[in-house]
Amino acid sequence: MKLRQYQVDAFATRIFEGNPAAVVPLDAWPEDSLLQSIAEENNLAETAFFVPSDREFHLRWFTPLCEVDLCGHATLASAHVLFEHMSYPGDSIIFDTRSGRLAVRKTDGLLTMDFPSSPPRPIRPPDALIAGLRQKPIEVLAAQDYIAVFENASIIRSVTPDHAILRSLDLRGVSVTAPGEGDGDTGTRTDFVSRFFAPKVGIPEDPVTGSVHCALAPYWGDRLKKNVLAARQLSKRGGEILCELKGNRVFLRGQAVTFMTGEIDLASFHPLGHLPGRPVRHTLPS
């Protein structure tokens, strides 16, 4: 049995930028161990798998180490695959996930994800957080991840964390963030910048992290008194996310480009007659 796989650079306008994700369409769910093995073999921040269900899709995300509750860039990549490679007929896709029903809409060349807002709460920072970042933030908050706030973008660029220490923290990962800065070449300005480290789930540094902006956007929106914010993640690859706050939802907008298409050959994984799942035909909901 062979599975079709796409590798997509999310939150990017050209390849080699943004955050790469693998996307594997399925007709039915195999054993979880196979999904985890594929994600480990891909060794990307996330591998996304989806299965059609009535007029929706059941979507799951796996890091090389485990399944996660929410992943923004792999959701964007999955919608990109459906729109660009599988001839999805509508302009809005609904994904049923561990984090509820998530919608992705295609408008004016952008993909807009409708995610739940997760405002972070101020906390007393764990000693391991300060030791792991090797920098002392001016404020620390927590939601799904720790958020360490610093004075400026230069500090965010200079952070060189001790991943072994950060791995000991109880939450998924750590986002470091600061007020935005201007771009001298384009004249544009970001409202806030960030980086994200998640060695606990096998991701030392994530290039662009959609899900953490569900917490970053409400924090900076409240601090800057803005509902629409331009964000940039200052990883080596870099990426931009436009965030809009509406009640208890965060709308994250970006683009995606396909880097590669290929096939996963499972002939040697199991004797063919015992392979979990069934042959994949890429059937879309009617």
Domains of the chain (ranges; CATH) run 2-114+256-274 (3.10.310.10), 121-246 (3.10.310.10)
- Tens digits of per-residue pLDDT, 54-106? 889 999 999 999 999 999 999 999 999 999 999 999 999 999 999 999 999 99
What is the DSSP track for 222-260?
A: HHHT-SEEEEEE-SSS-EEEEEEEETTEEEEEE-EEEEE
Q: Please give the DSSP secondary-structure letter assigned to residue 284.
A: P
| DSSP annotation of 148 | E
Residue 22: the pLDDT is 98
Q: The whole model's pTM is what?
A: 0.85
Angle at 153 between CA 152 and CA 157, to 5 degrees: 130
Nearest by Cα to 63 from 81, 83, 38: 38
Residue 141: beta bridge partners? Answer: 122, 147
H or E segment and range at residue 100: strand 100-107
Residues 209, 193 contacting (CB under 8 angstroms): no
Running DSSP on this structure, what letter comes out for residue 283? P
Q: How buried is residue 267: exposed, middle or buried, by Cβ count under 10 Å (0-12/13-18/19+)? A: exposed
The reported pLDDT for the residue numbered 206 is 95
Whether the CB-CB separation of 147 and 120 falls below 8 Å is answered with yes
User: Can you tell me whether residue 132 is helix, strand or coil?
Assistant: helix
- Please give the pLDDT value at position 109: 85
pLDDT confidence of residue 276: 47
- At 126 the pLDDT is 96
Place of tokens 């920098």: 135
What pLDDT was estimated at residue 223?
97
Q: Return the bridge partners of 107, or none.
A: 110
Rg (CA), the chain: 19
Q: Which residue has the tokens 């331009």?
A: 230
Cβ(76)–Cβ(111) below 8 Å: yes
Name the stretches of the chain with pLDDT < 70.
183-188, 270-286
Could you list the active site residues? 46
- CA-to-CA distance for 18 and 9, rounded, in angstroms? 6
* In contact, 249 and 240? CB cutoff 8 Å: no
